[in-house]
Structure 1
Amino acid sequence: MTTPTDPLVPPDRPRPGRKLGPIADNVSSTHRSWLMPMRDTYLASGLTLNALSDRIRFAKSKLSELLRGVGLYPRWEVVFLIAAELGMPNWPLYRLWRQAAFEAQRSGEWVERCTDRTTILTAADTAPPMNHRAFRELTEGDYLLYAQVFLDDEERDSAVSDTFDILWLSWNDALTSTDTRRYAWTALRDTVMARTLHREGRPELGPAAFDTLALRSLADPAEDVDQIPELVQLFTVISHLPGRQFDVMVLRRLCGFTPEAVSALVGASLATVRSDERHATRFVRDVLDTPPSTEGAAP
């Protein structure tokens, strides 16, 4: 990773000029996945839009639009110039930029035409930091198990791969956070949930019921069929849990992790994991044990 040039304005001092606006609401999850680290790196650099505009020879107004996700999807050469100035690794950035370009309905021809082939070949030789690679080796298999609950095989692999690209872009932030494991888990969860079907604002766990059922080894196949409605109901109740309790139940009940493994994976204490599981289990039991409403029924 290259080191950005010295900022013109120290990061702890206010920037002159108008404050950078928020990311537009209609920005896709993949576009947001590379845009947010770029914005964070820009804000941490202490550079002003004027200074960055002068350095990369790109209009200030267009820079502001790019950093807010406003207007047309940006061309790679501009994104590359900004990344180079900010010292960001361009290979994971390029992969996320390319995927988001297709989601923005850009054609393969457009992607190739606006890409500087020389910079891509240079980027292809770039390797992530050694501790990032080690972290990926330790966690990738478990991340895939979690993502499998919500996504098909192709989407699962893509979500986990994108997660590690996102972490690569913000690896310094991950290392200086309170807990790198918790930081990384948040990145994974956000990426997976952005691609998961939702119903009434809650993640859809219906397909997981059938996947789980297929892995069970009950002696009577007819018993499997009889359990489908119960499993679907169970997963529907789990989807109502708060985020942390929801993750604990998914990891414990669907992925088969021990409490100790959940603690290590999500960066929470073992006591917190056990407490979350107790509260979640109590909630699920209370809901499932509640008889259906008889309001309006005939006496």
Structure 2
Amino acid sequence: MSSKPPAPGPGPVPPRPGRKLGPIVESVGSAHRAWLEPVRDTYLTSGLTLSELSVRVRLSKSKISELLRGTGLYPRWEIILSLSAELNMPQWPLYRLWRHAAFEAHKTREWIDRCSERTTTATASHTVPPLDHRAFRELAEGDYSLYAQVFLDDDQRDSAVSDTFDILWLRWNDALASSDTRRFAWEVLRATVMSRTPHIDGRPEFGAAAFDTVALRVLTDDTARVHQMAESLELFKAMSRLPDNQLDVMVLRRLCGFALDSASALLGVPLATVGSDERHAVHFLESVICPPPETERTPA
């Protein structure tokens, strides 16, 4: 059994000999990227070279380079399992993310099961995340679902939230080492949700949320509901133009009903920042939806 890679030191990782690893290719899908980025980041901070990793996993350097860039054929699970063992990564969340991405890559269920049938038992033997990760999930999962529901349908919402916590499990040490674990986690959630949200001209499309706003739920008159629906759709279209931080604040505050301090805690940003983002967002929305009338010019 080969030894685990040395833990990175307090300083920056020294440059590796040989050619630098290229970036992940643009064609990699969101589900594939969800597990590839943590694997790639772990490799880059491990201190191992491609040559050393090649000997340990018995795969050529070129194939490992392709895998870490997302080029070539979608990799079989046994290869990812070997890499995860050498990089000392938790295998169960990695397997779930790999399996999800395999479907995105149009692999059949038979191919997926055949790739993993000999290794699933070993993979599933370590299914318990760290205690503090479990505690964090218990606190945040319900609130994360409320946010994701604004952008995604029920199945996509549940998948996005589940994948978020799997990614966090893979990157939990990074989350704990960050300036604020809550902020780190929120950025993972947001990236996961937005990768599955339809976009128009680079803006998230979430008009479906109009069917489940608080305003609509309390209205019983059909005419009033239609009027409110039109107003909601106009509001959501304008909200999609907000900067990311302001959009998140408005979704949490106005669509999910979070108090100011609760939104601050969930986002991992100061209370004053949330208040400022909300004020700027409201000012922008009012200027777009209800612009002030033009000043009449006095004839010369």
Shorter chain as denominator, the TM-score bin is: over 0.9
Amino acid at match of 2:88: G
Within the alignment, does 1:54 sit opposite 2:52 as a pair?
no
SS at match of 2:213: helix
Tell me the CA shift for residue 221 of structure 1. Answer: 3.4
Task: Describe the shift of the 1:265–1:7 C-alpha distance in structure 2 as closer, same or farther (beyond 3 A).
Answer: closer
Aligned residue in 2 for 1:297: none
Q: Deviations over 1:152-201 (max 9, x none)?
A: 11110000000000000000000000110000000000000000111111
Query: Which aligned runs of 4 or more in structure 1 are off by greater than 4 angstroms?
Result: 7-11
> Normalized against structure 2, the TM-score is what?
0.92
User: 1:122 corresponds to which residue?
Assistant: 122
Q: Deviations over 1:21-53 (max 9, x none)?
A: 000100010100000000110011010000000
Equivalent position amino acid for 1:284 in 2: L
One-letter amino acid of the counterpart of residue 82, structure 1: L
Query: What corresponds to 1:104 in structure 2?
Result: 105
- State the AA in 2 paired with 1:97: W
Task: Find the aligned partners of 1:102 and 1:238 in 2 and give their Cα distance.
Answer: 32
Give the CA deviation at 1:122. Answer: 2.5
Aligned amino acid, residue 169 of structure 2: W
Q: Secondary structure at the match of 1:114?
A: helix
The answer as to 2:6 corresponding to 1:6 is yes
What secondary structure, in the 3-state scheme, does the structure 2 residue paired with 1:24 have? coil
The 2-side partners of 1:34 and 1:215 are apart by 39
> How far does the alpha carbon of each residue in 1:222-254 deviate from its partner, in whole angstroms, 9 at most, with x for none?
211122111100111011000000000000010
Shift of residue 116, structure 1, vs aligned partner: 4.3
User: What letter corresponds to residue 121 of structure 2 in structure 1?
Assistant: L
AA in 2 matched with 1:44: T
Q: Give runs of aligned pairs for residues 187-198 of structure 1, distance below 5 A.
A: 187-198=188-199
| Aligned AA (2:163) | D
Distance 2:232 2:132 in 1: 40
Deviation at 1:16, TM superposition (A): 0.1
CA contact (8 A) 1:77 1:116 kept: no
Alignment of 1:1-299 (within 5 A): 4-6=4-6, 12-117=13-118, 119-126=119-126, 127-212=128-213, 216-290=217-291
- Structure 1: where are the runs of 5+ without partners? 294-299
TM-score, normalised by the number of residues in structure 1: 0.93
CA contact (8 A) 2:97 2:166 kept: yes
Distance 1:19 1:112 in 2: 34
1:174–1:183 CA contact under 8 A, matched in 2: yes
**Contact in 1 for aligned 2:4/2:88 (Cα 8 Å):** yes
CA distance in 1, matches of 2:215, 2:152: 16
What CA distance in whole angstroms lies between the structure 1 residues aligned with 2:154 and 2:250?
21
Farther off after superposition, 5-14 or 162-171: 5-14
Deviation at 1:270, TM superposition (A): 0.2
For 2:220 and 2:89, the matched residues in 1 are separated by 55
Report the RMSD for the aligned CA atoms in angstroms: 1.9
Shift of 1:212: 1.1
Cα deviation, residue 214, structure 1? 7.4
Residue identity in the other structure for 1:136: R
Alpha carbons 1:213, 1:228 under 8 Å: kept: no
2:16 is aligned with what amino acid? R
Cα distance in 2 between the residues matched to 1:43 and 1:33: 16
Contact 1:248 1:273 in 2 (8 A): yes
Could you give the per-residue CA deviations for residues 33-77 of structure 1, whole angstroms, max 9, x where no partner exists? Answer: 000000110011010000000111111100000000001000110
Q: Which amino acid aligns with 1:64?
A: S
Distance in 2 between residues matched to 1:220 and 1:107, nearest whole Å: 48
Q: CA deviation at 1:4?
A: 2.9
**Is contact 1:91-1:123 (8 Å) kept?**
yes
